[in-house]
Amino acid sequence: MKKWLAFLGWIGLIALMVGCGRPSSAGSAGSAPRLSGKIVVDGSSTVLPISEAVAEEFQKEYPGTNPVVGKSGTGGGFKKFANGEVDITGASRPIRAVEDEACRKNGIQYIEIPVAYDALAVVVNPKNTWCDYLTVRELKKIWEPAATGKITRWSQVRPGFPNRPLVLFGAGVDSGTYDYFTAAIVGEEHSSRSDYSSSEDDNILVQGVANNENALGYFGLAYYLQNKDKLKAVAIDDENPNNGDGPVLPSEENVLNGTYQPLSRPLFIYVNVKSLEKPQVRAFVEFYIERAAQLAKEVGYVPLPEQVYALAKQRLEKRIIGSVFGAHGSQVGVKLEDLYKIEEAGEGGK
């Protein structure tokens, strides 16, 4: 939890700059009715539905613009971002030190903007009648590197489970979902078994689980909500009484109240500061922040508190460069209510 207090430090710093109102900008969407030009967005497949929704609404308002949204995964997006190939990249984890260094090496300055909260859903096929919940320890037993080639049947996960093949689907290594899941469940980023079907495209994972009654997989909550008729969510028990007793299903309510742990996480966009010199990019980012709460909810994510979006807008206006997380990548254990503990920001930001 201490690592996440860095986020509070970010909020605290920006809060000092927040005045009574939200300042207007000469480059804002409302003052640029004749915007035109391309906006290149890439990155996380998890952030993709939000970015696509924002791009669609933005283009309706500014038909002369051309927002192009791709999905190379969080890691792949950061590679393109560091090379100056894209204006904005979406990420389902904070930037890592090696990615930050690549940006510095290429003269890329960036602004980190949180846009929503997500949860990772662990799912099985609807025909699975034996697995309604898993503990974090059981998930670790399934996914840790030592499980490779050894934990291959459901009966090995828990006594009483049937002696059936355990068929696994999960995020690819360039995915921020992979980074976060391995950090949260195994205890270290990129620490995972290798003998499973992987993809940076969550839709492929959805189909994999939906088509195999022995399957278990994980991906972003939004993709589960969009495919509830094909999948069955597995409740997670972190065995921590501070988060409530017993297994908890992934849902917006449980992300908001902090009980769905440790698989809740923030989502981000990273913006190339130089790209903000292009009026259409500046307007797009402002539009993104202003519409993120509404559109995130529409596509199945959990909006951040209004206060945080206001602070994100100030971060953009004040050109606050870099990552509040110290470029340490995935960090685990955030609860939304902690965002309001500004009084702890001083300690957390140190």
**pLDDT of 150-160, one tens digit each?**
999 999 999 99
| CB-neighbour burial class of residue 54 (10 A; exposed 0-12, middle 13-18, buried 19+) | buried
The arithmetic mean of pLDDT across residues 53-78, rounded, is: 95
Q: With helix as H, strand as E and coil as C, how does 186-248 read?
A: HCCCCCCCCCCEEECCHHHHHHHHHCCCCEEEEEEHHHHHCCCCCCEECEEECCCHHHCCCCE
The arithmetic mean of pLDDT across residues 222-246, rounded, is: 87
pLDDT at 272: 98
- What is the separation, in whole angstroms, between the first and last Cα of the chain? 14
Give the tens place of pLDDT for each residue, 111-142: 999 999 888 999 999 999 999 999 999 999 99
**Is residue 345's pLDDT more than 70?**
no
Euclidean distance between CA atoms 87 and 102, whole angstroms: 16
The arithmetic mean of pLDDT across residues 203-213, rounded, is: 97
Residue 227 vs residue 323, higher pLDDT: 227
Structural domains of the chain, ranges and CATH numbers in brackets: 5-117+264-348 (3.40.190.10), 119-256 (3.40.190.10)
What's the whole-model pTM score? 0.69
The arithmetic mean of pLDDT across residues 88-101, rounded, is: 93
Residue 246 vs residue 10, higher pLDDT: 246
**Is residue 227's pLDDT more than 50?**
yes
Which is nearest to 143 in space by CA: 128, 157, 123?
157
215-250 b/e (C-beta count within 10 Å ≥ 16 → b)? bbbbbbbbbbbbbeeebbbbbbbbeeeebbeeebbb
- Cβ of 27: how many Cβ atoms within 10 Å? 18
Residue 43's contacts (CB-CB under 8 Å, 6 or more residues apart) are 51, 70, 71, 72, 73, 74, 76, 77, 78, 81, 86, 88, 89, 90, 91, 269, 270
Euclidean distance between CA atoms 206 and 200, whole angstroms: 12
Give the tens place of pLDDT for each residue, 162-202: 999 999 999 998 888 888 899 889 998 889 999 999 998 88
